[in-house]
């Protein structure tokens, strides 16, 4: 037994050192993560430092901002919601809520639900009011196989550094305890490590802003169709500086619509998959005592005229989902903005001109007030 004494003391020393290290990491976490609970805004990917590369990276590596208690409104969905529901505009009309724009370009409902799940894994433990405003069109209901062909962009980034592990289906959980996971995420932020790695490594790990911008401009995450014509169209849009003045001629409209049909594989109906997902999303948000607001975003008339069958499928299935929730006496709130479909309101096939953003934000703010959803 005497020979075990030194061994036990050695093991106890290791255990004590590990405990001190863990305590130090936890303490360091609060030091590192104390940036005042600044709001999240995935739009910074296109206007801030290129190192962020993608909106998904930005969201994962900045989720530490959610540890500070606050009543928050989260804008979720795809790029049309991200652009129109600007935090500055929306925040000026909705008092008492910190507006966080965490929409991901090209997202379908599966990726939206992953986004919300990530938020709940990161939020402060203190009970606060959270509202999720989800911008939708038929495009958010493309099935996973058609949209992604594999894992969502967010799932790819969550598993890139083993920060998260798959727990079945499209769900993920942190690989480390909550506080440690936030510290590791913070330490891996590209704006921290980029100056200290070779440029070719940075390019490999963190795709450039330009590449991601080109991928998102047409609301598509895939290649396909005539690549030369697609790239030419994307480069044309990329050069524009005044989207209020941009004129889309008939030829460009036809090309935008053609590309959309290529991406959707010329489908004439939407599978039930994503409508089941939005039911799961609504249930998860309600389970946390929070609010989900669906904002049915407009699309230009010429776009809808080209996909009438898909739009009918979308309206019918979404209506069934809302009806089921209404019969249960609860469910998401619904704001219909589809009537704003004048082609002059859009600078491409899906995105509203900047002059429309304040109108969209005002409509949403009025709706939230009428529904008595603003706390405080």
Q: What is the mean pLDDT of each run of 10 residues along the chain (376 residues)?
A: 62 66 55 64 69 80 86 96 94 91 95 94 83 97 92 87 77 74 67 44 43 42 50 65 82 86 87 96 94 98 95 97 91 96 94 96 96 83
Q: Tell me, what's the pLDDT at 225?
A: 43
CA distance 223 to 262: 9
Q: Tell me, what's the pLDDT at 231?
A: 62
Which H or E element spans position 244? none
Cα angle 214, 215, 220; round to 5:
135
Instruction: Evaluate whether 180 touches 25 at the Cβ level (below 8 Å).
Output: yes
Q: Tell me, what's the pLDDT at 372?
A: 93
Q: What are phi and psi of 360, to 5 degrees?
A: -60, -45
Q: What are phi and psi of 100, to 5 degrees?
A: -115, 120
Both tokens assigned to 29: 């976490």
Closest C-alpha to 335, from 306, 371, 281, 372:
371
- How many residues would you count in the chain? 376
State the first-to-last Cα distance of the chain, in angstroms, to the nearest integer.
Answer: 66
Both tokens assigned to 134: 């989800």
Instruction: Evaluate whether 40 touches 62 at the Cβ level (below 8 Å).
Output: yes
Residue ranges of domains in the chain, CATH in brackets? 61-148+216-370 (3.40.50.1110)
CA distance 110 to 265: 19
Q: Tell me, what's the pLDDT at 126?
A: 73
């Amino acid at each position: 037994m005497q020979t075990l004494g030194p061994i036990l003391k050695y093991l106890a020393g290791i255990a004590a050192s590990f405990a001190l290290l863990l305590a130090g990491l936890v303490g360091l976490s609060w030091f590192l993560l104390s940036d005042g609970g600044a709001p999240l805004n995935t739009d910074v990917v296109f206007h801030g430092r290129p190192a962020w590369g993608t909106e998904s990276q930005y969201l994962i590596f900045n989720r530490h901002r959610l540890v500070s208690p606050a009543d928050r409104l989260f804008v979720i969905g795809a790029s049309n919601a991200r652009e129109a529901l600007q935090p500055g505009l929306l925040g000026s009309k909705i008092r008492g809520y910190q507006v966080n724009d965490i929409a991901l370009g090209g997202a379908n409902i599966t990726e939206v639900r992953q986004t919300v799940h990530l938020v709940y894994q990161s939020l402060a433990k203190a009970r606060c009011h959270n509202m999720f405003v989800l911008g939708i069109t038929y495009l958010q209901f493309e099935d996973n196989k058609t949209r992604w062909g594999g894992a969502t962009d967010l799932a790819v980034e969550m598993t890139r550094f083993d920060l998260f592990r798959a727990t079945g289906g499209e769900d993920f959980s942190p690989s480390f305890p909550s506080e440690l996971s936030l510290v590791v995420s913070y330490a891996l932020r590209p704006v921290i490590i980029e100056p200290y790695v070779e440029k070719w490594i940075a390019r490999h790990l963190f795709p450039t802003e330009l590449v991601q911008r080109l991928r998102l401009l047409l609301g598509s995450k895939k290649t396909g169709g005539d690549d030369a014509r697609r790239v030419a169209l994307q480069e044309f849009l990329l050069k524009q500086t005044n989207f209020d003045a941009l004129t889309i001629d008939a030829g460009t409209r036809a090309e935008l619509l053609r590309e959309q049909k290529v991406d959707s594989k010329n489908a004439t109906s939407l599978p039930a998959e994503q409508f089941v997902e939005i039911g799961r999303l609504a249930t998860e948000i309600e389970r946390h005592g929070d609010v989900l607001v669906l904002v049915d975003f407009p699309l230009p008339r010429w776009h809808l005229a080209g996909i009438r069958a898909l739009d009918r499928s979308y309206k019918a299935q979404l209506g069934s989902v809302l009806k089921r929730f209404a019969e249960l006496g609860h469910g998401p709130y619904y704001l219909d903005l589809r009537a704003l479909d004048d082609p002059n309101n859009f600078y491409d096939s899906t995105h509203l001109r900047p002059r429309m953003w304040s109108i969209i934000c005002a409509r949403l703010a009025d709706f939230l007030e009428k529904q008595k959803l603003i706390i405080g």
